[in-house]
Amino acid sequence: MSSHQAPGQRHQLRVGDSPWVKGLLIGFTLFLTVILLVVPLIAIFQQAFVEGAAHYFNSLLEADTLHAIGLTLVVAALTVPINLVFGVMLAWSVTRFEFPGRKILMTLMDIPFAVSPVVAGLLYLLLYGNNGWIGSWLYDQDIQLMFAWPGIVMVTVFVTCPFVARELIPLMQQQGREDEEAAVILGASGWQLFRRVTLPNIKWALIYGVILTNARAVGEFGAVSVVSGNIRGETNTLPLHVQLQYEDYQAAAAFASASLLAMIALLTLLLKAFIEWRQERSLNIEAEKERQVTQ
């Protein structure tokens, strides 16, 4: 098909466009995706309901499970705003100014993604645990951070801190600083500038960064399990609770808790798809406007 086309259709000559190749590649990809991603997703819910709907809801309403859900929400509610502020500050400083060490700062920001979560947890335990040089001082003041909820929040902040900045930096770099410079020359104050000019431009990337931060904050396991101490009904987050139930041979209950986390994951994917669709649409509208102007 590809080598016998009319000259007018030559732009369609592209690799892999013959129906055979196309069908084969799509089919194989879908097959692998179903096996590797779709079936596991279905299995979570199937396993959660394997002992019936009554068991499912009863296990979710257990006091320890409810406590784990509550703690997880608190951790996310504290982590997200902290990293939102940090992410915006960092993105603003590295995209709006030139200063020595800018690149190093951006690489440092990536460290939490490269470091194993267990190592991240250990770093905090060594410093703030009762034997650490800050921890021992805190111990004398009767302040306990590790094996308590503040420690969980601290490691979660560490693990999730790059998300917002990573979404913002490429976008803000691409948009340049002209709009903002114009606003300043016209007399906008710092806060006006941010609210009226910057924020509308970065809104969707910011929301996306927040969604990713939230998803990871809710689901973090390795780092949290090092600093939590796994005290049931006290320092157990939902992912740790899943592990506890699973290792207690309460598989259905573990999957019931897991199904809540899976629903948050699905919601995350849905919001992400929605945001991408919005961005694509606004890009199309802009392109359309530009075309009308040039005509």
Partner 1 sequence: MATHLSAADTRPRHKRVLPGLSLSLGTSLLFISLILLLPMTGLVMQSVDMGWDRYWQVISDERVVASYKVTLWAALLASIFNGFFGLLLAWVLVRYDFPGRRILDALVDLPFALPTAVAGITLATLYAQNGWYGQILESIGIKVAYTPWGIVLAMAFTSIPFVVRTVQPVLEELSPEEEEAGMTLGASDWSVFRRVIFPALWPALMTGIALSFTRSLGEFGAVIFIAGNMPYVSEITSLMIFVSLQEFDFPAASAIASVVLMASLILLFAINIWQARYLRRLHGRS
Residue 147 C-beta: closest distance to partner 1, Å:
12
Task: Please say which residue, 67 or 157, places its beta carbon nearer to partner 1.
Answer: 157
Task: Please say which residue, 71 or 157, places its beta carbon nearer to partner 1.
Answer: 157
Among 261, 253, 273, CA closest to 50: 253
Residue 14 C-beta: closest distance to partner 1, Å:
6
CB count in 10 Å sphere of residue 265: 15
SS3 39: helix
Residue 74 C-beta: closest distance to partner 1, Å:
17
Residue 86 C-beta: closest distance to partner 1, Å:
5
Whether residue 166 contacts residue 179, with contact meaning beta carbons closer than 8 Å, is answered with no
Task: Please say which residue, 36 or 54, places its beta carbon nearer to partner 1.
Answer: 36
CB count in 10 Å sphere of residue 11: 7
Residue 80 C-beta: closest distance to partner 1, Å:
15
Give every CB contact of residue 25 below 8 A, 6+ residues apart in sequence: 16
Whether residue 117 contacts residue 159, with contact meaning beta carbons closer than 8 Å, is answered with yes
Residue 273 C-beta: closest distance to partner 1, Å:
4
Task: Please say which residue, 25 or 77, places its beta carbon nearer to partner 1.
Answer: 25
CA 208 to each of CA 58, 96, 202, 275: distance values in angstroms, whole numbers, following the listed order: 34, 21, 10, 7
CA 104 to each of CA 10, 92, 133, 292: distance values in angstroms, whole numbers, following the listed order: 48, 16, 27, 43
Residue 154 C-beta: closest distance to partner 1, Å:
8
Task: Please say which residue, 127 or 149, places its beta carbon nearer to partner 1.
Answer: 127
Task: Please say which residue, 8 or 292, places its beta carbon nearer to partner 1.
Answer: 8
C-alpha torsion sign, points 186, 87, 258, 37? positive
Task: Please say which residue, 11 or 291, places its beta carbon nearer to partner 1.
Answer: 11
Residue 294 C-beta: closest distance to partner 1, Å:
17
Whether residue 128 contacts residue 137, with contact meaning beta carbons closer than 8 Å, is answered with no
Rounded to whole angstroms, the Cα distance separating 61 from 55 reads 10
What sections of the chain are H helices per DSSP?
19-33, 39-48, 53-60, 63-96, 102-114, 117-128, 135-140, 149-160, 162-175, 178-185, 190-192, 199-219, 222-228, 238-247, 251-294
Task: Please say which residue, 61 or 108, places its beta carbon nearer to partner 1.
Answer: 108
